[in-house]
Amino acid sequence: MTPETLVFDSSAELVATARARFVDVVTAAQAARGVASVALTGGSNGIALLRALAEDSGDVDWSNVEIYWGDDRFVPSAHPERNSGQAFDALLNHVPVDPARIHVMAPSDGEFGHDIDAAAAAYGRLIGSDTVFDVHLLGMGGEGHVNSLFPHTAATAESTAPVVAVTDSPKPPPARITLTFPVINASREVWFLVSGEEKAEAVAAAHNGADRADWPCAGARGTTATVWFLDRAAASAL
């Protein structure tokens, strides 16, 4: 399926449009299936989207949203670099979510201690083979990483396990837990939220059909929609 590419004058406009569309997709999923399922991302636009949703989430019934993360940093729970902590600050502390439907990846001071493989395996059991996200949000790095799937790594090559541990992330912090391509690509919709000229080469590589080993962003797609929300700088090499 051909990806949809939307280009905005600013990241603020990008986020505003993604917010409105998120409300539409989640409310439609709730109308169809009762409960919506989403995978959140960290990063600048991913967190800005959550802040925008805290301001206005329309008719979303937050008590019926299953919330997962595409990746998180394996650091103590109170560490400011936790994607989940940022999501609570931006959104989840401000809307009536059901705590039982919020699925945080274990931190390094959680029930598995420093055993990152056990923590990743537990999240893998939680995801199982049946979880289908209505929307999986993705940020992207300048080298094309999505979630914590970096170029030329075992995590990016993973073709069966839904969740793996990463211990040598080139972007700090080095220890992370990440969903892999089999579960990303089972999502109904996959959205990239990308701004800045330093991302332009990766955006172009994905649009030109690059190998996901070289440019992981090229390997992520939804079963019903793949949407690139870009600002003009990120779209400048298209």
Ligand X SMILES: O=C1O[C@H](COP(=O)(O)O)[C@@H](O)[C@H](O)[C@H]1O
> Which residues lie near ligand X (CB under 6 A)?
41-46, 71, 83, 139-141, 148, 171
Pairing of strands 163-166, 225-231: unpaired
Query: From the CB of 231, what's the least distance to ligand X, in Å?
Result: 11
Q: What minimum distance in Å lies between the beta carbon of 61 and ligand X?
A: 26
25 versus 75: smaller Cβ distance to ligand X = 75
**27/236 with CB nearer ligand X:** 236
Nearer to ligand X, 31 or 154 (CB): 154
H helix runs in the chain, sequence order: 11-33, 44-55, 83-87, 116-127, 154-157, 181-184, 200-207
* Tokens standing for residue 212: 């996901």
CB-closest chain residue to ligand X: 139
Residue closer to ligand X (CB basis): 33 or 171 = 171
Q: Are 126 and 162 in contact (CB under 8 A)?
A: no
* Structure tokens belonging to residue 230: 């870009």
The minimum distance between CB 147 and ligand X, in angstroms, equals 6
Strand stretches in the chain, DSSP E = 4-8, 36-40, 65-69, 71-73, 135-138, 163-166, 176-179, 189-194, 225-231
Nearest-approach distance from CB 80 to ligand X, in angstroms: 13
